[in-house]
Amino acid sequence: MVLGLTLASPLSMALEPPSGTPLLKVSGDIGVTNVGDQAWFDRDMLEALPQGTITTHLPWFDGASVYQGPLLEGLLDAVQARGTELRVSALNDFVASVPVQDASTFNLVLAMWRDGERLEVRNQGPLFVIYPFDQHPEIYNAVYLTRSVWQVESIDVH
């Protein structure tokens, strides 16, 4: 007899509703929800996900900055995302399509911090999709810069 063992993170087994103010709502083709057919995340829940750091230059700021926050791939794992495309929406109704594959190819970060300062709405927060442009200069172009959505409020998985 062969026994299989699957290890899952606590977030992938059960996703409790947020106890704080929701910062992010994930919908679409996902297997784990906590509010209706969506997965809502507050700051503590996002900070409990696997974290990443990217140091890079962005055209909107002088010099390189250090961005920190949950790895997009970790978020997608937590909600058991099954799609190939993400529609990332900002507070100002801007929407960008981000291929799911980018999350793992580039270890994308949903930045909650820039240079040690918490991102708030007034400074591109609460979440900012960050690509490692300095490590991958070939993606420093309009296509990928458009995917660097700031003031992210929701992600729809397709």
pLDDT in tens, 50-90: 999 999 999 999 999 999 999 999 999 999 999 999 999 99
Tell me the residue type at 75: L
- Which pLDDT score is estimated for 11? 45
Which sequence spans correspond to the domains of the chain? 20-157
Residue-wise pLDDT tens digits, 110-130: 999 999 999 999 999 999 999
Instruction: Report helix, strand and coil shares of the chain as percent, to nearest 5.
Output: 20, 35, 40
Whether residue 1 is predicted with pLDDT greater than 90 in this model: the reply is no
Angle among Cα 17, 19, 22 to the nearest 5 degrees reads 75
Residue 6 has φ and ψ, to the nearest 5°, of: -115, 125
Architecture of the structural domain at 20-157 = Alpha-Beta Complex (3.90)
Q: Which two tokens stand for residue 124?
A: 């591109």
